[in-house]
Amino acid sequence: MWTGGNTIGTPYWWEEAAPETTSDPLPDRCDVLVIGAGYTGLSAAIAAHDAGARVAVVEAGIPGEGASSRNGGMFGAHPRLGWDKLAQHFGARTADALFAEAAPALNWAKDFIKAEGIECDFQTTGRIQLAWAQSHFDAQRRLANAVQSKSTVNASLVEKSGLRQEIETDRYAGGLLFPDHGALHPAKYHRGMMQAARRRDIPVVSHARVQALARDKGRFDIRTAKGTVRADKVVLATNGYTTRPFRWHARRVFPLPSYLIATETLPSNTLGHLAPGRRMMVETRARHSYFRLSPDGTRILFGGRASMRDLPLDKAARRLRATMVEIWPSLRDARLSHAWMGYTGYSFAHMPHVGEQDGLCFAMGFSGSGTVMAPYLGAKAAYLAVGDARAKTAYADTHLPRHMLHLFDRPHFLKPADIWYRFWVDRMENWQARRGSGGQTR
Ligand SMILES: Cc1cc2nc3c(=O)[nH]c(=O)nc-3n(C[C@H](O)[C@H](O)[C@H](O)COP(=O)(O)OP(=O)(O)OC[C@H]3O[C@@H](n4cnc5c(N)ncnc54)[C@H](O)[C@@H]3O)c2cc1C
């Protein structure tokens, strides 16, 4: 299954852009302290700095080591839920506003890359969401109508008969194409944000995990592994890596693992057959498979929910590979060069939120979709902290609900949830897919 020089545990992306530790000292004092140096934290730091604040960033490990250098590099922003679900969770006005903000958020992130000169192999490839069953395609039809009537996002349905132009498989019942979405190299994207912070002389302090916060006369004393810093405002940007002392947040945003594999280099004609559309591809089924070509167009990168809890990488890679071969049987002999994982920060409403709690401003809960939304909402959280009118966003009107199964800081509920999904949801979705294809075995 593996190539000779395989790398289990190290992201494929780190071959070209591994996160680097910094030697910046911890300042004694700043106006805004940002906790976490992923996309959210760095964007927040840049926005607060450009709004006139003295800023510092503290990071528990090496900047970028979290999800921001590990993800699939699929770039897009459309509400993760249909309009009806959003209206049910947050009310019709907020649902409308979330749809309306999708195109501006995407454009903001594209402009950010351009304005900061970030070299991250960005391409507007389009992203197609592939319907696993006919009922999923029916839901996509409703979503397409809502997107077209309530936002300026371009989206078009692809009937089953047109899918062969996108992907060489008969597994899907149709698809929903977002032609303006794109692809990037996530670790280079993060590196570009670090360079943007460097140009502004923003200290980014590695190995400075925040251990405790105390509030004194409206100011914060933040104790880190490298000493204490005093700040007027704090922006929390820890998403799927949130732990104590941030209990309020950790009970609302939980770490859901996502796993990825990279194949060995494949012949270009094979790849041209498998994915002629060269799009970013995501599935509608709960297994959340997502796949793409590498930026140099030489391999398949295939990700998904191999498990909802931590699994040995070798085992997770076998599961992902089996799913990949179900979709593309011609890859049955393809070997793997890399397997890795990271934690997405999931919220129980499947949507992120920007807000303030106990004086801490935050943006989190990106629920697996953060290449656009994390830097976009990171900047919003920074504007909230410094009292800038640009803080306005519909994501301040969402919320992070609690769930009765997640009573403690650690997500113990993921173990039974994993069993539920593997033995019930996955089977039910396969049954729905078979029923939609006239009972044939897929
Ligand atoms: C495998 C995988 C695939 C994904 N694929 C995609 C995709 O294709 N497209 C997409 O849009 N999104 C994708 N995502 C989601 C996306 O990567 C995230 O939403 C985004 O990176 C979140 O950025 P962040 O800065 O909020 O969090 P992170 O990048 O996770 O950074 C949080 C940081 O906080 C630090 N931290 C935590 N606690 C403390 C503390 N106490 N003190 C100091 N620092 C602390 C952590 O060390 C970490 O570096 C994927 C995620 C994963 C894991």
How many whole angstroms from its chain centre is CA 184?
13
Q: Is 67 in the pocket of ligand 1 (CB under 6 A)?
A: yes
How much is the pLDDT for 125? 97
In the chain, where the domains are located: 2-396
SS3 (DSSP) at 60: coil
Strand partners, 205: 58
SS3 (DSSP) at 31: strand
Among 114-123, 417-426, 430-439, which is the least confidently predicted range?
Answer: 430-439
Q: Is 340 in the pocket of ligand 1 (CB under 6 A)?
A: no
Q: What are phi and psi of 206, to 5 degrees?
A: -80, 160
Strand partners, 317: none
| Averaged pLDDT score across all residues of the chain | 94
pLDDT digits (tens, 9 = 90+) for 64-84: 999 999 999 999 987 778 899
pLDDT digits (tens, 9 = 90+) for 52-66: 999 999 999 999 999
Q: Is the pLDDT of residue 207 over 80?
A: yes
pLDDT digits (tens, 9 = 90+) for 362-380: 999 999 999 999 999 999 9
Q: Which atom of ligand 1 is nearest to the CA of 245?
A: 41
Ligand 1 centroid–CA 238 distance in Å is 7
pLDDT digits (tens, 9 = 90+) for 252-273: 999 999 999 999 999 999 999 9
Ligand 1 centroid–CA 214 distance in Å is 26
Q: Which residue has the higher pLDDT, 44 or 82?
A: 44
How many whole angstroms from its chain centre is CA 415?
22
How much is the pLDDT for 439? 39
How much is the pLDDT for 301? 98
From CA 337, how far away is CA 362, in angstroms rounded? Answer: 37
Instruction: Transcribe 144-170 into DSSP letters.
Output: HHHHHHH-----EEEEGGGGGGT-S-S
Of the candidates 221, 319, 334, 233, the one whose C-alpha atom is nearest the C-alpha of residue 274 is 334
From CA 249, how far away is CA 242, in angstroms rounded? Answer: 7
Beta-carbon contacts of residue 312 (< 8 Å; ≥ 6 apart): none
Strand partners, 177: 128, 156
How much is the pLDDT for 80? 77
How much is the pLDDT for 421? 80
Q: Is the pLDDT of residue 164 over 70?
A: yes
Of the candidates 118, 236, 89, the one whose C-alpha atom is nearest the C-alpha of residue 185 is 118
Written as six digits, the tokens of 107 are 């454009």
- Domain over 2-396 is classified CATH 3.50.50.60: yes
User: pLDDT-based confidence at 414, cuts 50/70/90?
Assistant: confident
Among 157-171, 256-270, 394-408, which is the least confidently predicted range?
Answer: 394-408
What is the average pLDDT across 124-128? 97
Q: Is the pLDDT of residue 7 over 90?
A: no
How much is the pLDDT for 442? 32
Q: Is 60 in the pocket of ligand 1 (CB under 6 A)?
A: yes
pTM for the model stands at: 0.96
Q: Is 106 in the pocket of ligand 1 (CB under 6 A)?
A: no
Q: Is the pLDDT of residue 438 over 60?
A: no
What is the average pLDDT across 279-308? 93
CB 86 within 8 A of CB 160: no
From CA 276, how far away is CA 126, in angstroms rounded? Answer: 13
What is the average pLDDT across 402-419? 82
Ligand 1 centroid–CA 230 distance in Å is 25
Q: Which atom of ligand 1 is nearest to the CA of 257?
A: 53
Among 148-152, 282-286, 395-399, 427-431, which is the least confidently predicted range?
Answer: 427-431
Q: Is 381 in the pocket of ligand 1 (CB under 6 A)?
A: no
pLDDT digits (tens, 9 = 90+) for 218-250: 899 999 999 999 999 999 999 999 999 999 999
CB 372 within 8 A of CB 109: yes
Written as six digits, the tokens of 336 are 């793997």
Q: Measuring CA to CA, how many Å separate 87 from each of 98, 137, 146, 220, 328?
A: 10, 21, 12, 37, 37
How much is the pLDDT for 276? 95
Q: Is the pLDDT of residue 151 over 70?
A: yes
Q: Measuring CA to CA, how many Å separate 101 from each of 96, 150, 270, 334?
A: 9, 10, 39, 41
Q: Is 344 in the pocket of ligand 1 (CB under 6 A)?
A: yes
Q: Is 41 in the pocket of ligand 1 (CB under 6 A)?
A: yes
Ligand 1 centroid–CA 306 distance in Å is 18
Strand order in the sheet with 290-293: 2-8, 336-347, 253-263, 300-304, 290-293, 280-283, 127-131, 174-178, 156-159
What percent of the chain clears pLDDT 70, i.e. is strictly above it?
Answer: 98
With tokens 């089977």, the residue in question is 427
Q: Is the pLDDT of residue 428 over 90?
A: no
What is the average pLDDT across 94-108? 97
CB 200 within 8 A of CB 53: no
Q: Is the pLDDT of residue 16 over 70?
A: yes
User: Which mutation among 20, 57, 65, 71 tests ligand 1's pocket best, with the greatest number of atoms within 8 A of CB?
Assistant: 71
How much is the pLDDT for 437? 58
From CA 28, how far away is CA 228, in angstroms rounded? Answer: 7
First to last CA, the chain: 24
Ligand 1 centroid–CA 68 distance in Å is 5
SS3 (DSSP) at 62: coil
Q: Is the pLDDT of residue 431 over 50?
A: yes
Cα dihedral 320, 257, 275, 373, rounded to 10, equals 180
CB 154 within 8 A of CB 179: yes
Beta-carbon contacts of residue 118 (< 8 Å; ≥ 6 apart): 112, 188, 189, 192, 193, 195, 196
